Amino acid sequence: MTDVYVVRNQLGHYWGKGKAWADGSDPRSVARFRHEDEAVNTLFELSSRDIELRGEVLAVTLSERGEPQVTPSDHPLPQEPEEDDEDAAAASGEDALSS
């Protein structure tokens, strides 16, 4: 019996509750949807922001602890790029060349 739906990308990462991709090693962090149309809408919104996303909606069951039973991804999550001084100055509205 299907209990919930999750969104998974082409690398096997799952859309997380924190609005970022999770590798599935901690099922508590995976976003779950009671209705398939909610998961489809989320996948549509994600793919409209990232044209290279190839995702799917999966029907999964819940464990006894209420967590989705998902298979962790073999691919590592991408690292967030670090801001350098020039990017930080540009983000704050300052000209990096004027000092």
- 8 belongs to a structural domain: yes
* Number of domains present in the structure of the chain: 1
- 97 belongs to a structural domain: no
Range of 41's domain? Answer: 4-73
In angstroms, what CA-CA distances link 14 with 53, 71, 94? 12, 10, 37
- 80 belongs to a structural domain: no
pLDDT band at 99 (very low <50, low <70, confident <90, very high): very low
More confident residue, 60 or 3: 60
Q: What is the pLDDT of residue 46?
A: 96
Q: What is the pLDDT of residue 36?
A: 96
Q: Give tens-digit pLDDT for 58-87.
A: 999 999 998 999 999 888 887 765 555 555
- 93 belongs to a structural domain: no
Q: Give tens-digit pLDDT for 14-59.
A: 999 999 999 999 999 999 999 999 999 999 999 999 999 999 999 9
- 66 belongs to a structural domain: yes
- 84 belongs to a structural domain: no
